[in-house]
Amino acid sequence: MNVRTPSGNLKGAIDLRGVTKRYGAERVVDDVSLAIQPGEFFSLLGPSGSGKTTTLMMIAGFAGVDEGAIAVDGANISGMQPQHRGFGMVFQNYAIFPHLNVFENVAFPLRARRQPEATVRERVTWALDLVQLGAFADRFARQLSGGQQQRVAIARAIVFEPRIVLMDEPLGALDKNLRYDMQVEIKEIQRRLGMTVVYVTHDQEEAMNMSDRIAIMNRGRIEQVGMPSEVYERPSNAFVGRFLGEANILDGTIDGLEGDCATLRVGGLVLRARVRDAVTVGSRASLFVRPEKVTIRLPGAGERSGNRVEGRVRRVSFLGNIVRYLVEAAPSAHVMVDVQNDGRPPLAVDTAVTLGWAMDDSLILAG
Question: 72-92 pLDDT, tens per residue?
Answer: 999 999 999 999 999 999 988
Whether the predicted pLDDT of 6 surpasses 60: no
Task: Give the amino acid at 243.
Answer: F
Whether the predicted pLDDT of 255 surpasses 80: yes
Question: 109-125 pLDDT, tens per residue?
Answer: 999 999 999 999 999 99
pTM for this entry: 0.90
Whether the predicted pLDDT of 330 surpasses 90: no
Q: What is the pLDDT averaged over residues 246-252? A: 94
Question: 40-67 pLDDT, tens per residue?
Answer: 999 999 999 999 999 999 999 999 999 9
183-192, 250-259, 301-310, 341-350: segment of lowest average pLDDT? 301-310
Q: What is the pLDDT averaged over residues 264-283? A: 90
169 DSSP 8-state letter: S
pLDDT value at residue 302: 58
pLDDT value at residue 9: 60
Question: 12-26 pLDDT, tens per residue?
Answer: 999 999 999 999 999
Domains delineated in the chain: 14-233 (3.40.50.300), 246-366 (2.40.50.100)
Alpha helices in the chain (DSSP H): 52-60, 102-112, 117-130, 146-158, 176-193, 204-210, 228-233, 238-243
Closest of 284, 285, 296 to residue 335, by C-alpha:
296
Give the integer Cα–Cα distance in Å for 360 and 260. 11
pLDDT value at residue 59: 98
Question: 292-315 pLDDT, tens per residue?
Answer: 999 999 987 655 668 999 999 999
pLDDT value at residue 4: 44
Burial class (CB within 10 angstroms; exposed 0-12, middle 13-18, buried 19+) of 254? buried
Percentage of the chain surpassing pLDDT 90? Answer: 80
